[in-house]
Structure formats: structure tokens, C-alpha cells
Structure 1
Amino acid sequence: MALNDEIAILSALPALGGFEQGALRRVALSAQTRIMRAGEELFRRGDAAEGAYVVMSGDIALLDTAGGAVAVARAGDMLGEIALLVETEWPHTAVADSPAVVMRVSRALMRRILGEFPASAATFRAVLAERLAALSSDLERVRGSLLALDQVAPKAAKDASGAAR
């Protein structure tokens, strides 16, 4: 794959879309590329995630503990975005569904790039802050729904016990 094609894929990622061209070029030149055969394992659930993977071509299936696919990452998708910043574990096992090419962006590489390209770092922080705010809002809605259920459940139980008499 040509360098310009790799940069185009990286620039289309939500987390990296606002990066300066120099930063994207540095990621493309410094990241490790891996060619995978169909059925080859990329990572296993519970393993330390030391960075993210960008699917450059092919499909990567994310498997649950029973081996069933819960999602499929396709060309242009990033796996493990949060691992670019913090230590974490892979929540699923990832296996190539078809021949695939992935680019591994290590946490150390991302930290170097964010240090060298302050404008890209500011954009990255803003994107993550927006995502965290959206997640927080979603969690608050779930909390509200659960609280509403807690208020309904005792009343329903009381009504059911009264009806049983």
C-alpha cells in the first residue's frame, strides 16, 4: 500500500482525522504493518493492549468467549483506540475473517507524536473529550432508566402480592 493511501485511511479515522499531515505521515512511517492470513489471530481477550490497530484491508472478526462474532472491523476501522493513551486489556479476541493488513500504532509512538505535534494533540484531546461527554450522557440516561425501574418494580411487586391474596 502506498504511503499516501495509508495517510488517507488514517486521516479518515475519527480519532486521527484532525491530525496535521506531518503527524499522519509520521504515524504511517513509524507504525508496524502486519499481513494476516484468514483465520490468523491478531490478539486474544484479556491480553494487554499496548496500542491500537488500524485495519488497512480485509476484515477482522471480534469474538466473544464462545467464539461467536460480536462485530467485524473493516478497512478504515480502528481497534483499541483507548489503548493509545492508557493501559488496558483487549475485551475480545480478534481473528482475520479474510486476508487482511493491519497497522499497529503503539502507545509509545502515539505519545511521541502527540508531544511533537501540539496541534494534533489538542485535536485528539478534543475528540476524546467529546466522546467521553457523550458516553457520560448515555450512562446518565441508563442510570435514569434504572432508577425509574427501581421505582416501578416495588409497586409492581406490591400489586402482584395484593392480587395473589
Structure 2
Amino acid sequence: MRQFLLINLSIILLLTGPLISINTKANESLTIFLSGMIKDKCVIESEFGKALDFSQSIMYKTKLHVDCNQKMSLSIRSDFGGLKLQEQNNIIVDYNVKIEFNRLNLAINKNASEIISEYKFNSGNIIPFKTDGTLSISLLDSLKYSGEYIDTLHIDVYPNFVNNEN
């Protein structure tokens, strides 16, 4: 009988052995590395495109669209400090530039003569993503002399890697 019991016990252990698992190393772990990357994006566009003609008007106002996925810096600069009469270097008609982005608490109001040297603004800790603003340009005096007047107003936006205000 004892032999029968031992055989039955052996058969039971043999059959249930795969179901019962005794693991002496219970401290296994799983490490998963995750990553992702989004490229820097900082662009500005205007409704009027890239040319304004002051032959018939002394003021223009247009919407600006900024799309920037990180803190942003904005700079403005005028090549001549006003509309310069091509035939005579000494005649320059100053104009006012006003840029506003309410969401960024940004309001720049400068005359072209003040921005021959670049003027910069930082958005601080605000990331603008897709933000709309306005650009207003108005002549301080009308064009009087015949000929072509030119200037280039540079408005640049770029990522701000330095965390400082204005």
C-alpha cells in the first residue's frame, strides 16, 4: 500500500509539475526607452505678402500670422530708416511701425529712423504656437517729390534659447 501511495504521489507531481513553478529569481524587470522629436518651427507671414506700395496710401494695416513651437524672439530693422528717394540720398520719409500680438503681451511702436539698428523683443516664457497679430505702417509725412522711394523692413522671428524678458 505504501508503494501504491508513493507511485500515485509521483504520478500526481509529475502531472502537476509543469503547473507549479518555483522560481528562485523573482527580481526580473523590463526597461523600455521612449523618445520623440519635433523640429524647431518659427515662421511669420503677412496677408499682404511682401510688398506695400505707398504711392496712393499713407497707411497700411495687415494681419500677421506666427507659428512658433517654442519661446520666440522677434526683431525688426529698416534698411534706410524710412522711404528713401532713389535719385536723392538725402530725402528720406520716416514712417511708423506698430506690431501687436496681444497673446504675447507684445506692442512695438517705433519709427523707421529708430530701427536702423535692429530692435529685439523676446516672448518670455510664452510659446506662441499659432498666434495672430497686426502690423500697421503709416508714413509720418506724405511723399512729395517725384521718383521711386524704397526701404526694406525686416521682421524676423526665431527660437529664443535664452530665457530673458525684453
The TM tier, using the shorter chain, reads: under 0.3
Tell which structure's C-alpha radius of gyration is larger: 2
Q: TM-score, normalised by structure 2?
A: 0.27
Higher relative strand content: 2
